[in-house]
Amino acid sequence: MSPRRRTYADERDYFTVEPTPPRRWGLAIVSSVAGLLLPAAITASALMLVSHETDRRAQLRDAAALNYVHGFMTAYTTLDPFNANAYADRVLAQGTGDFAKMFREKMNEIVIQVARAEPTQGTVVEAGVQRWNDNGSADVLVATKTTAKTPDGKSTIESGNRWVVTAIQEGQQWKISQLIQVI
């Protein structure tokens, strides 16, 4: 055989037809599915984050209203007959709207009643936001307990009341716009 026609075992034969290797679809399918699932997962995560933040803000708003109403009702139900004028001034300073108007009109009568009363200690037993109004105010249902000693100082008298308090935020400060005793 001539040196030109000599074939080696490791040489490729250019004139024979070689079968094409089978196509691999696995990688293409996996990447397509991953390409579809990734935006869906990101969208779901974003929606859950927005929902979580909305709930957190609502809880913070509820807590702020409850905290203010709790402090106000404790001060409102705690009477000090020796400082009746200061009591009336404190309550009036925390009022707005109908409550402030009504309290201002009856302030002299309230001061006389507080001055004649026995000292009491008021506590809030429980409070909860009933609803949020369209104007941004919150209706809070409050249960209070008032403890007073008898004039002879030998026994204590406890009484409980329920109130619906409407609190509204004016600027950075909460105020009471309505106070209704529930019977």
Q: What is the pLDDT of residues 59-118, one digit of tens each?
A: 999 999 999 999 999 999 999 999 999 999 999 999 998 999 999 999 999 999 999 888
Q: What is the mean pLDDT of residues 42-52?
A: 97
Query: What pLDDT is recorded for position 125?
Result: 94
- pLDDT tens-digit series, residues 1-31: 555 555 555 666 777 778 888 888 888 899 9
CB 120 within 8 A of CB 77: yes
* CATH level 2 (architecture), domain 26-182: Roll (3.10)
Q: For tokens 């000292």, what's the residue?
A: 119
Cα separation, 180 vs 76, whole angstroms: 13
pLDDT band at 49 (very low <50, low <70, confident <90, very high): very high
Write down the pTM of the prediction: 0.76
Whole-angstrom distance, CA of residue 164 vs CA of residue 65: 13
| Span 132-158, pLDDT tens digits | 999 989 999 999 999 998 878 788 889
DSSP category for residue 154: S
CA distance 33 to 61: 42
Taking residues 146-172, what's their average pLDDT? 89
The angle subtended at Cα 22 by Cα 21 and Cα 26, nearest 5°, is 130
Find the helix or strand (DSSP H, E) in which 164 lies.
strand 156-170
Angle (CA) 174 179 183, round 5°? 145
Structure tokens at 136: 């941004």
Q: Please state the domain extents for the chain.
A: 26-182
